[in-house]
């Protein structure tokens, strides 16, 4: 396993800046997920690390060695692509051993031993003699992963390895792949636009937007303290409710009145679904109309229409509400995140902002 260090990576395609000065350190043995919307530069980042794309500026260092003059096959990386890219006319075993015998010039018997070893760990031994067309999507993806792991490369790069699989298989495989990479002690960089994949697979997540890293942190960091409105809206299922206008008119106005006068007047308030309740017994309240009740196992997600947008509330499964009902919504300012200023960065909770304002006015 090797550490990966990226410094000042920049890459443009014509007018499009796919990477805009990316600095990133991935520790040896770490699983890092690059998460962002379509077109944010995730694949380009991975391709530059793999040497499939040349950066306009910046450096890629793997295991302490600058990769500038190295072609993809000379880099200590294994790649698992979005599309399985297995050779259709070769058995699973041959798919796994081909890169070893040809790429790494390993003797056939040794390559076969390695394939069998990794197949056992991935529980696909019974697939080794099969052609890809005789396998399910999930089985093919396991074989693709086996092929990457069999190389025992210092770094495994995965580009949307789960896309194209159905939700249940995706949920199973994301946990499985994370465990396999962890047990193998592999350094892994995954790319995905799916925050559930990211939360399950990552030691740390880098959220990218327009070729820049917006926030880097553990899944808990990102969930508890999103650095910006963009991150807040991207993480969590359902994601944080964001109020550009107002939650409770009085509360919002009170909040605006206490914010620093330095241009933070256009703020967004964010509240997680689990921090809203269908009660009037809270410091801030408003009324809304239930549009949909969605069962979610031990809880339910209630979608409530409020001042022109839909708010999601996570509540206990036994709370009895029906579509069409008018319900109170309550929350506490300690649970309200405030975003504003350039880049709509996180300014603190409403409570913290009230407190700092009163402390400032007291001195
Ligand atoms: N070979 C290319 N030629 C021209 N533009 C490109 C090329 N590759 C990527 N881009 C552009 O660079 C930007 C980043 O693309 P990239 O594929 O890295 O994004 P992504 O985050 O991986 O998106 P997705 O999730 O849709 O795959 C996009 O605007 C894309 O259109």
Ligand 1 atom closest to 41 (CA): 18
CB 259 within 8 A of CB 312: no
30 pLDDT more than 70: yes
Centre of ligand 1 from the C-alpha of residue 217, in Å: 24
Higher pLDDT, 25 or 141: 25
Q: Is the peptide bond before 238 cis (omega within 30 degrees of 0)?
A: yes
Q: Please indicate whether residue 47, judged by its CB atom, sits closer than 6 Å to ligand 1.
A: no
Give the residue-averaged pLDDT of 28-52: 95
Give the residue-averaged pLDDT of 307-321: 87
Residue whose CA lies nearest to ligand 1 atom number 29 = 39
Q: Which residues partner with 328 through β-bridges?
A: 287
Tell me what the pLDDT averaged over the chain comes to.
Answer: 87
Question: 84: pLDDT confidence band, cut at 50, 70 and 90?
Answer: low
- pLDDT > 90: percent of the chain: 50
The fold of the 238-359 domain, in CATH, is: OB fold (Dihydrolipoamide Acetyltransferase, E2P) (2.40.50)
Residue 83 has what pLDDT? Answer: 64
165 pLDDT more than 80: no
Centre of ligand 1 from the C-alpha of residue 233, in Å: 22
342 pLDDT more than 60: yes
Residue 258 has what pLDDT? Answer: 47
Centre of ligand 1 from the C-alpha of residue 230, in Å: 19
Higher pLDDT, 354 or 109: 109
Residue ranges with strand state E in 160-211: 187-192, 204-209
Closest by alpha carbon to 35, among 213, 226, 203? 213
pTM for the full predicted model: 0.87
Ligand 1 atom closest to 47 (CA): 18
Exposure string over 277-297, b if 16+ CB within 10 A, otherwise e: bbeeebebbbebebeebeeee
Architecture of the domain made up of 2-229: 3-Layer(aba) Sandwich (3.40)
Closest by alpha carbon to 352, among 363, 341, 360, 344? 360
Every domain of the chain and the residues it spans:
2-229, 238-359
Residue 265 has what pLDDT? Answer: 64
């Amino acid at each position: 396993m090797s550490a990966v260090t990226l410094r000042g990576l920049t890459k443009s395609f014509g007018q499009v800046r796919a990477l805009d000065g990316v600095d990133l350190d991935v520790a040896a043995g770490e699983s890092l997920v690059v998460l962002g919307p379509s077109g944010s530069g995730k694949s380009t980042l991975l391709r530059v690390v793999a040497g499939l794309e040349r950066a306009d500026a910046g450096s890629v260092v793997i295991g302490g060695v600058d990769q500038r003059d190295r072609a993809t096959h000379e880099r200590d990386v294994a790649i698992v692509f979005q599309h399985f890219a297995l050779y259709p006319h070769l058995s699973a075993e041959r798919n796994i051993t081909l890169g070893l015998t040809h790429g790494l010039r390993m003797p056939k018997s040794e390559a076969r031993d390695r394939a069998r070893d990794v197949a056992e760990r991935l529980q696909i031994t019974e697939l080794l003699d099969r052609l890809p067309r005789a396998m399910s999507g999930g089985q093919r993806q396991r074989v693709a992963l086996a092929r990457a792991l069999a190389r025992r490369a210092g770094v495994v790069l995965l580009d949307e390895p789960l896309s194209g699989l159905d939700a249940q298989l995706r949920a199973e495989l994301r946990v499985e792949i994370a465990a396999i990479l962890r047990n193998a002690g592999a350094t892994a960089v995954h790319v995905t636009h799916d925050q559930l994949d990211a939360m399950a697979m990552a030691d740390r997540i880098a959220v990218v937007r327009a070729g820049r890293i917006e926030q880097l942190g553990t899944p808990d960091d990102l969930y508890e303290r999103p650095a910006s409105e963009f991150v807040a809206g991207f993480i969590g299922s359902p994601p944080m409710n964001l109020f550009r206008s107002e939650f409770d008119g009085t509360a919002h106005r009170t909040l605006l009145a206490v914010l620093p006068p330095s241009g933070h007047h256009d703020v967004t308030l964010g509240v997680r679904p689990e921090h809203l309740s269908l009660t009037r017994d809270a410091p801030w309240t408003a009324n809304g109309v239930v549009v949909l009740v969605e069962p979610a196992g031990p809880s339910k997600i209630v979608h409530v229409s409020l001042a022109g947008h839909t708010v999601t509330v996570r509540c206990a499964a036994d709370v009895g509400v029906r579509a069409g009902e008018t319900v109170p919504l309550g929350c506490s300012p300690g649970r309200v995140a405030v975003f504003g200023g350039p880049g709509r960065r996180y300014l603190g909770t409403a409570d913290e902002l009230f407190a700092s304002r009163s402390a400032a006015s007291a001195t």
